[in-house]
Amino acid sequence: MEEAITTTKITALAGGVGAARFLRGLTRAVPAETVTVIGNTGDDSVMYGLHVSPDLDIVSYTLAGIVDTAGWGIAGDTTHALTQIAGYGIDTWFTLKDRDIGTHMARTNWLAEGMTLTQITDHIRTSLGVTARILPMSNEPVRTKIVTLDGVTRDFQEYFVKRRHSEGVAAVTFDGARAASPAPGVMEAIEQADRILVCPSNPVLSIGPILAVPGIRETIARRREDVAAISPIIAGAALKGPAATLLPVVGAEATPTGVAALYRDFCGTMVLDRADAAQASRIEALGVRTLVTQTIMHSPAEAELLAKEILQL
């Protein structure tokens, strides 16, 4: 069985913290070099002049084993730059620590020199010793925007970090998505993978932008039988973040069934937690197979077990 797994090429669609935790297990379950991650760049933004790619960095830092316990940033990092900025009276609601700032300075420098986000992301992950491939979904800017119930359009980080996703949301848009194209390697990674996994990330905010890049959703749909998604919703709630409140915004129930309904055109299997076992029949009725297991990952070892179980389907 192990041997069958090690020869498999796996492509995973990923957001931030939840995805990274699963990917840490996946890259323990199979040789990391057989894994290609397609990362969300809808959360990218320019902060203090620096190009920040939160989800790509979370995945890189996590797989490099240097991620902070918060799930993002670098463990043991310092806040000297931010303290200086705060001393100038600037509201430093977006936390950037010093070593992490180095990553953003390098990225910004390379972008100014004409390197693509694909090249930059590859350079960062290899420098950090990560053997899994990490691809941005697109090299063109796609920017997730939140339209609040008050009719205000907010940049993603302002909604998510500054206002701690506390506002009612009327709509989510992905500015630039229609004009964007998949980054080099993305379509091949989908077409050539033996298995395609959708990480337990926010279906609206994290997986949504990836699927909004023209061509990606359709290409994954042609691989539907080989696609498995892990529900980020367990017992009606997200472990982290506003997935449960955002699913209804796109007309979906905040349950694994709701996620399956959103994904059914491209996803053949939904992986759901035992807490939601009762929903399996509803999901199957949508034409989506189910795997009911423990999806909460308390440790890399548990994430590895979850990955193995999915790959053995």
Q: Is 51 a binder of a copy of itself (CB under 8 A)?
A: yes
Q: How many CB atoms lie within 10 A of CB 80?
A: 11
Q: Is 154 a binder of a copy of itself (CB under 8 A)?
A: no
d(CA 136, CA 118): 6
Q: Is 89 a binder of a copy of itself (CB under 8 A)?
A: yes
Q: Is 108 a binder of a copy of itself (CB under 8 A)?
A: yes
Q: Considering only residues 82, 169, 190, 199, which one is a binding residue for a copy of itself as defined by CB under 8 A?
A: 82
Q: Considering only residues 4, 70, 90, 285, which one is a binding residue for a copy of itself as defined by CB under 8 A?
A: 90
Q: Considering only residues 88, 114, 150, 168, which one is a binding residue for a copy of itself as defined by CB under 8 A?
A: 88
**Token code pair at residue 96:** 């950037």
Which amino acid is present at 50? L
Which value, in Å, is the radius of gyration of the alpha carbons in the chain?
A: 19
Q: Considering only residues 8, 31, 50, 219, which one is a binding residue for a copy of itself as defined by CB under 8 A?
A: 50
Q: Is 98 a binder of a copy of itself (CB under 8 A)?
A: yes
CA 97 to chain centre: 21
Q: Is 122 a binder of a copy of itself (CB under 8 A)?
A: no
Q: Is 121 a binder of a copy of itself (CB under 8 A)?
A: no
The position carrying tokens 């997200």 is 238
Q: Which is nearer to a copy of itself, 1 or 112 (CB)?
A: 112
The position carrying tokens 């034409």 is 287
Alpha helices (H) in 170-291, listed in sequence order: 186-192, 208-212, 216-221, 243-246, 256-263, 280-285
Residues 6+ apart with CB under 8 A from 152: none
Residues 6+ apart with CB under 8 A from 112: none
Q: Considering only residues 105, 152, 285, 301, which one is a binding residue for a copy of itself as defined by CB under 8 A?
A: 105
Q: Is 285 a binder of a copy of itself (CB under 8 A)?
A: no
Q: For binding to a copy of itself (CB under 8 A), which residues are involved?
A: 46-51, 74, 77-78, 80-85, 87-90, 98-103, 105-106, 108-109, 111-112, 123-124, 127-128
